[in-house]
Homo-oligomer: A and B are copies of this chain.
């Protein structure tokens, strides 16, 4: 009983330590021994929880995925409309790639390690799917024109978001990705949204004070 809880704790602490070290030294240059040392545990323990170094990295990415879902739920909860939720999500995703350590590390992992081959595809699909869902909702409530090719648009937005996240990571947040997104949405809104719906939308970055912990 207690053992199980302890085991779970160890797993969590290993992930937390990995995030710190991957952030500081990068995936390749972080040794599992270093991770274990920080948790005061040996490799035997680590390999109880993760079958390989890659799996440990994948667990970090999974953490990020889980967070993304939480963020989405939170944004949808507070948003007046699906499209607004989508717009805010794009800002948030790029912003988090800079501010939140887990997200930053996960994106770096996805695009600078062997995890690319394993998970980058999944990530792209998952982002595209999320966008498509929100777009579809927006079509249903009449906020987006019914003749829009949701699939195509979602794919394009996904590329833009991932490009933005990457840009953020590359330039360590010194690039004005927010500005880019504003430009993007101003154009997209003209194309996608019926004129009478436009004034209810905010295309500028949301004032996100901790939408998620």
Interface residues of chain A, those whose CB is within 8 Å of chain B, are 26, 28-29, 108, 111-114, 116-117, 120-121, 124, 152, 155-156, 158-160, 162-164, 166-167, 170-171, 175-176, 179-180, 183-184, 187, 191
A132 nearest CB across to chain B (Å): 14
Copy number in the complex reads 4
Q: Which of A114, A159, A176, A187 has the most CB of B within 10 A?
A: A159
Contact between A155 and B180, CB atoms less than 8 A apart: yes
Question: Nearest B residue to A187 by beta-carbon distance?
Answer: B187
Contact between A180 and B159, CB atoms less than 8 A apart: yes
**Contact partners of A179 in chain B: CB under 8 A:** 152
Q: Can you pick out 9 interface pairs between chain A and chain B where the beta carbons lie within 8 Å of each other?
A: A28-B114, A111-B111, A112-B113, A112-B120, A113-B113, A120-B166, A121-B170, A156-B183, A162-B166
Contact between B124 and A152, CB atoms less than 8 A apart: no
CA–CA, A160 and B26, complex, Å: 26
CA–CA, A34 and B208, complex, Å: 51
**Contact partners of A108 in chain B: CB under 8 A:** 116
CA–CA, A117 and B23, complex, Å: 12
Contact between A180 and B156, CB atoms less than 8 A apart: yes
CA–CA, A116 and B120, complex, Å: 15
Contact of A166 among B111, B152, B175, B183 (CB under 8 A): B111
CA–CA, A191 and B167, complex, Å: 24
**Contact partners of A116 in chain B: CB under 8 A:** 108, 111-112, 170
Question: Nearest B residue to A27 by beta-carbon distance?
Answer: B114
**Contact partners of A176 in chain B: CB under 8 A:** 155
**Contact partners of A124 in chain B: CB under 8 A:** 167, 170-171
Contact between B167 and A159, CB atoms less than 8 A apart: yes
**Contact partners of A120 in chain B: CB under 8 A:** 112, 166, 170
